[in-house]
Structure formats: C-alpha cells, structure tokens
Chains A and B, each alone.
Chain A
Amino acid sequence: MTRLVRAELFKLRTTPGPWVVLAATLGFTALGIVAAFLVSKGVVITRGGAVRRHLEFVAPTTVNRLRRLIGAGFEGGGVWMAAVIGVLGITGEYRHKVMTTTLLAQPVRWRVLVAKSIASVIWGLGLGIASLVIVAAMGVPLFVSQGGALSALSHQVGAVVPGLLGAFALMALLGVGFGSLLQNQVASVLVVLGVALILEPIFDGLVPAAGRWLPSAAAAAVAGGSLATGTAHAQLLAWWLAVIVLVAWGLVPTVLGFFATFSRDVT
C-alpha cells in the first residue's frame, strides 16, 4: 500500500492540476486574510440617499476575529480546493485513460481507491499547511503593522490549527467520493463547487436546522466553530459529531462510487 500511495502522490505532483489548485488555495487564503482585517464601522447614508457600508482596515482584536485570521484558508473558501484535489486525483485518470495503466499495475481495485484517498488526504493537509504558511508570511506582518498584539494571536493558534487541518483533510476525502461516483472531471468539480456555493446557502436559508449537517457547516464545526460567520451557522454541530458527518460525506460517496462505477468495466 505504501508504494501505491507513493505512486499516487507522484502522479499528483507530475501534472499541473494540483499546482493550480495550490495556487488557488493560496489566493483564497489571501482573500480570507484581507477579510479578517475588514471591520464594519456602521452605515453611511450619502447625500443622494444611497446606503454605503463603511469598512475599516484594522488588526483583529476579538477572539473570533483572531481565529478568522489564522483560519483564513478556511474563511476564504480555500478549503474547497482540497475537495477539488480529491476530484482531480481520480477523474483525471478517467479523462486521460490513465486508469487503464493504473489498474494494470494494481488490478485489485479497492486498493487503488484507498491509495487515492490517502494521497488526496495528504494533499488536503498540504493545502491546509500552505494556507497557514501564507497566514504567517502575509497575515502576521500585516497584523503587526496594524498594531496587533502577537501574543493575542499566538494564543489562538492551538484552537484553530487542528480543526483547520482536519477540515482540509476531510474535504479532500469528499472530493475522492464525488470523483469516484461521477467519474467525469468537469461534472465532479461543478457538483462539488455547486454544493459549496449554491446548494448549501440555499438549503441554509430554507432549512437552517438541517443546514448544519451539510459539508461546509460540518467543516466549519470541525475547524473550530467560531470561525463560522452568519446567523444560519449559529447552531453548528459539536466538533466530534462534525468530524463524523464530514467523514461520512467523504466515505459514503466513495463507497457508492466504488460499487456503482469504480468496480465496473474499464473500456
């Protein structure tokens, strides 16, 4: 299994897709960092009668805002890039027919799927770490330059990092699940992002009580709860329950995908 995982990691790093996803993660994290510094200072009504929110760029001070700065990879939406990695690892092989080569080298298919899951989780963790690196490289200097107290920030690291990395890892697993179920690369990416950007907000608005069981909300709960914004997420699941829910979001489609498509004929 070790050599299969190594081969899967090698595959990911020898194609451009994952590197593009890494770049996107860093970009989203940067957006998340900027967002953590923006504070609403009330509403300004202009002479024409237009309502304009007045934003100010200041170093975060509250626990909630400090955590949002550290967890900028999550806040900016970068965590969904981990799901895209999972999708790419499996659907790229169908798209370019590399699956044939993969299954000739390892004809026992569940082993291939397990190796892909592990490799994607490793990449997911890597993306989470990369987001933290950007926070350190860009967020912290910005924080200090705006007069933030480093001790206050470092105090929150332990509360955020494990959940943040957990969310990245489990989102990668979710990507493998959707990828193995749908096989088509474009469709899988669209479905994953559609769930994240369209379905979840709609669902949240309509049935807030059920919304917390969806991947983003579960990931938010895993990532430390207080990172989440908006009233709809006020009732997040307990972190341990959220871990189970997010693992289920990854494993159920993976297992379904294994039986529905992955174990079928490769023609």
Chain B
Amino acid sequence: MSAHGRQGATIEVQGLTKRFGTVVAIDDLEFTVSPGRVTGFLGPNGAGKTTTLRILLGLVAPSAGTATIGGRRYQELDHPLSQVGALLEATSFHPSRRALDHLRMVAMAAGIDQRRAGAVLDLVGLSDVANRRVAGFSLGMRQRLSLATALLGDPAVLVLDEPSNGLDPAGIAWLREFLRFLANEGRTVLVSSHLLAEMALTLDDVVIISGGTLRAQGPLSALTSRLHSVMRVRTPEPDRLVAVLEGAAIAYRRSDDGAIEIEGIEPEQLGPLLAASQVVLYELVRERSDLESLFLSLTAGAGGDATHLGGRDDRTPGAHWRPASRPRGTT
C-alpha cells in the first residue's frame, strides 16, 4: 500500500430501512464508522449486515434513510473504486477467467492503472497463481482475490463483508494484521462478521445488529470491560450487601430470583470488600465470562433499545444499570 497512508472518510448510516415485500430486513438503523479504526459490523446470520453493506455500496436501494461515505452516496462518488474498496462475496468471479485478468478487467472499468493488478496480487500473496483460472481456486484463495479487488484502487475506505470466510487460522491471523495495518495508515475499515471472537483481537469499535436493528455500538473496550465485571452473588442478607455496594459506588441489579448482579468490579476486588464487611455469601459467580455469550445476549431476541457502549458517543451507557455513580472504572 502507499507508504504515506490515507485519511479515510466517515461512514454514516442514518434512519436506514429496507423492506423486501412485507419483510423488514433493516429497521431504522443508525451508526457511524470512523477513520483510522477497525470497526466490526457484527450480528448473527440474517441480521441484515449484508443488506446494509449492499445499500452502502449502491447495489440495493434503501426503502428509507441514507448510507453515505464522506457525506456522499456511493453512486455520487467520482471514482468509487479509488475511494471505497469492497469485498462482498468470495464467489463473484467468472470461473474461466484468470486471476490477473479479473483484476485487469476491474482496473480497466474503473480507470485504475493496469499495473496495480499485479501489485495487489502480490500484496495478498497470489502472485504465483496470477495466470490460473479462478475455477481452480480454493475458497481461501478466492477470498484473497476478493480482497485484492477491494484494494485495487488504493481506497481510503474499506468495506468487507465476512472476509474471514473460508480462511484457515493462519489466513485469519494474516487478515487481522492486515486490517490493523490498513487502519493504522488512517483508513476507514468496516468489517462484518457473524463470529465476534474471530475478529475481537483486531477490532477498535463494534456495531452490533440483530433482526435488522441496532443492538449496541461503541468501542470494543467498553464491551470487554463490561463483560469481565458482571458477577452474580447469592446472599441471605441482600440488604446489607446492597448497602455495602452503594457505599462503594458499585453498580448492581437485583435479579428476579433474589440474587444480585454486580457490574464494574473484578472478583479479586469484590471478595476482600465483602469479607471486610462480613457479608455472608452462598455463591459468587462471574457470569457472561466471554465475549461470545455477551454477543449472543445482545443479539438474542428482538426489540429493546440499543446499548451504547460509551466512548466518544457517550449516551447514558448501560442505562438499565444503577446506581448512576459514573464514570465506570472509578472503583
């Protein structure tokens, strides 16, 4: 890629709605994606990720709302491939066409220097098979060729739909490093996945959707800090426990079965605190101890308001938690 780096544009999705007949695929979706960061666009299969990305890229017309890149719709961009690189599926090649010819064809249509075709093949490690027909490619090789196509115009914005599909663990590790490298150059990187754990290592921000609606968005760190600090405590003297927690300004919630769920503190800190207060405990369990289960809980079911994970767009994080002694992390 260019050594000087490229300043990406902001992706903005506002009030985006898409209906296919009577089916509402996307419902009033709203989020932003910032340059210089790797943003994960996460949700289970069928959540509406691909439809959202296809609207963003001008392939599908929205029923309402807008999706813009640097304030302009994709169709309004002067040289779209030199501004936005997209990877949508690993199957969009003519099987009889050679890999290099596929890239030359795209370069020709987009008015990009033909020599870039060889350069991007090199970049994704496919130089050896440049003159082989795509029909003989593995899914992983096709995925790399898709990525090469996305990079052809040296775009400052990258939109990648499930780029890790078909990649082996080494390929996924390579992809993660590559995305990190691109974001560090200042590019905007939006990458969708139905597997949070696979991408978590490289993500700065997350946008989580389910059933076509936004479930959470913000920095991944806010998500991780939350999931490691949720603990479930059973005690015969809940009122005393609550008093201790309120005294220490620790967020908690009484669950229906009488247990108390505590947020924002590690067991190593909570244990000594409760011992000092001599609160009797029957049980102290750390719940939702991995990203995947929090992801599942965020994306399960429908309805409800989206969770804003804090960070720059800090609107009452974790609104159902109390007390309101914020910011988080003061304990």
A104 CA to B89 CA in the complex, in Å?
A: 13
The answer to whether the Cβ of B119 comes within 8 Å of any Cβ in the partner chain is no
Q: A10 to B105, alpha carbons, bound, how many Å?
A: 7
Complex: A14 Cα to B111 Cα, angstroms: 18
Q: Is the CB of B80 within 8 A of A101?
A: no
Complex: A11 Cα to B60 Cα, angstroms: 24
A106–B109 touching, CB < 8 Å? yes
Residues of B80-98 whose CB lies within 8 A of A: 80-81, 86, 88-89, 91-98
Q: Is the CB of A104 within 8 A of B86?
A: yes
Q: Is the CB of A11 within 8 A of B88?
A: no
Among B56-89, those with CB < 8 Å from A are 57-61, 74-75, 77, 80-81, 86, 88-89
Give B77's nearest chain A residue, CB to CB. A107
B149 at the interface (CB under 8 A from A): yes
On whether A98 and B93 interact (CB within 8 A), knowing A3-B109, A10-B104, A11-B105, the answer reads yes
Alpha-carbon distance A235/B51, docked complex (angstroms): 54
Residue B101 is within 8 A (CB to CB) of chain A in the complex: yes
Shortest CB distance A152–B (Å): 45
Of the candidates B77, B80, B94, the one whose C-beta lies within 8 Å of that of A96 is B94
Indicate if the CB atoms of B104 and A267 lie closer than 8 Å: no
Cross-interface CB contact of B94 among A7, A15, A103, cutoff 8 Å: A15
* CB pair A98 B92 closer than 8 Å: yes
Contact indicator B61/A265 (Cβ below 8 Å) = yes
Which of A15, A96, A105 has the most chain B CB atoms closer than 10 A to its own CB? A105
Whole-angstrom distance between the Cβ of A153 and the nearest chain B Cβ: 40
Query: With A104-B86, A267-B60 given, is the CB distance from A98 to B74 under 8 Å?
Result: no
Of the candidates B80, B89, B96, B108, the one whose C-beta lies within 8 Å of that of A10 is B108
**Chain A min CB distance to B205 (Å):** 24
| CB of B280, distance to nearest CB on chain A (Å) | 59
Q: Assess whether B54 is interfacial by the CB under 8 Å rule.
A: yes
Cα A6 to Cα B58 in complex, Å, equals 23
Chain A residues with CB under 8 A of B97 = 14-15
> Does A78 touch B at the CB level, under 8 Å?
no
**Chain A residues closer than 8 Å to B57, beta-carbon distance:** 104, 107
Query: Are A103 and B60 neighbours in the complex by a CB distance under 8 Å?
Result: no
Residues of A within 8 A of B95 (CB): 96
- Say yes or no for A50: interface residue by CB 8 A criterion: no
Listed residue (B58, B98, B109, B110) with the most chain A CB atoms within 10 angstroms of its CB: B109
Whether the Cβ atoms of A14 and B59 lie closer than 8 Å is no
For B185-219 the 0/1 string (1 means CB < 8 A from A) is 00000000000000000000000000000000000
Q: Is A154 an interface residue (CB 8 A)?
A: no
Task: Identify which of A3, A7, A16, A266 contacts B54 (C-beta below 8 A).
Answer: A266
Looking at the complex, which one of A3, A15, A100 makes contact with B59 (CB distance below 8 Å)? A100
Please encode chain A, from 11 to 25, with 1 for each CB lying within 8 Å of some chain B CB and 0 for all others: 100111000000000
Tell me whether A14 and B60 are in contact in the complex, defined as CB-CB below 8 angstroms, given that A97-B91, A105-B110 are known contacts.
no
B residues in contact with A11, CB < 8 Å? 94, 105
Contact of A6 among B81, B86, B96, B108 (CB under 8 A): B108
Structural contact, A15 and B96, CB atoms closer than 8 A:
yes
Tell whether A108 is near chain B: CB-to-CB under 8 Å. Answer: yes
B127 to chain A, nearest CB (A): 19
Report chain B residues within 8 Å CB of A6: 108
With both chains docked as a complex, state the minimum distance between the C-beta of A244 and any C-beta of chain B, in angstroms.
32
**Is B60 a contact of A100 with CB atoms below 8 Å?**
no
CA A267 to CA B80, docked complex, whole Å: 19
The answer to whether A100 and B108 have CB atoms under 8 Å apart is: no
User: Which chain B residues numbered 17 to 67 have a C-beta less than 8 Å away from chain A?
Assistant: 51, 54, 57-61
Q: Does A105 lie within 8 Å of B106, measured CB to CB?
A: yes
- Contacts of B87-140 to chain A: CB distance below 8 A: 88-89, 91-98, 101, 104-106, 108-111
**With known contacts A3-B111, A97-B89, A265-B59, A107–B104 Cβ distance under 8 A:** no
Interface check A60, CB cutoff 8 A: no
- Least CB distance from B138 to A in Å reads 17
Q: Please state if B109 and A102 are interface contacts (CB–CB under 8 Å).
A: yes
Asked if A173 lies at the interface with its beta carbon under 8 angstroms from chain B, I say no
User: Given A104-B57, A105-B80, A265-B61, A98–B110 Cβ distance below 8 Å?
Assistant: no
Q: With both chains docked as a complex, state the minimum distance between the C-beta of A12 and any C-beta of chain B, in angstroms.
A: 10
Q: Which residues of A contact B81 (CB under 8 A)?
A: 104-105
A96 touching B93, Cβ below 8 Å: yes
CA distance A86 to B81 in the complex (A): 27
Would A101 and B149 count as touching, CB distance under 8 A? yes
CA distance A266 to B50 in the complex (A): 11
* Interchain residue pairs A-B with the least CB separation, the first 7: A7-B109, A97-B92, A7-B108, A105-B109, A265-B60, A105-B110, A107-B58
